[in-house]
């Protein structure tokens, strides 16, 4: 089971760092994706990091603002979110990809088998 944390209320232009922790899984064995779902919208892939951390991907709307990273020794994955905008308001989830060979399809949620509880990010003045 994965657990996302670190969400909250932040003003536009502010920053948050989300964390993804695992209680049973060894996160270092998996590529991890961050997804988000805004009210009334479909869930979308936001960012992705390979198990080694060498390969990262971002959806265009967050490039240059979000940074994904991992610390396998601590069994943690992070999403640093800067210059937050109202459009970033959503529940954010982390998930472990079933097979890293699907890395080029990282935005497809069907390739993820373990999902965590989400954390709500609200960007508002």
| pLDDT tens digit at each of 125 positions of the chain | 899 999 999 999 999 999 999 988 898 999 999 999 999 999 999 999 999 999 999 999 999 999 999 999 999 999 999 999 999 999 999 999 989 999 999 999 999 988 888 999 999 99
**Location of structure tokens 């459009």:** 87
Q: How far apart are CA 1 and CA 118, in angstroms?
A: 12
């Amino acid at each position: 089971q994965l657990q996302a944390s670190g969400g909250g209320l932040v003003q536009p232009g502010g920053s948050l760092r989300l964390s993804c922790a695992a209680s049973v899984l060894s996160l270092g064995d998996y590529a991890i994706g961050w997804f988000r779902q805004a009210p009334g919208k479909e869930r979308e892939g936001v960012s992705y990091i390979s198990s080694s951390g060498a390969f990262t991907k971002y959806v265009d709307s967050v490039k240059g603002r979000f940074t994904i990273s991992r610390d396998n020794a601590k069994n943690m994955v992070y999403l640093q979110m800067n210059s937050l905008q109202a459009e970033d308001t959503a529940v954010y989830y982390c998930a472990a990809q079933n097979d890293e060979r699907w890395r080029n399809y990282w935005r497809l949620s069907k390739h993820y088998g373990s999902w965590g509880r989400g954390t709500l990010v609200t960007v508002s003045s």
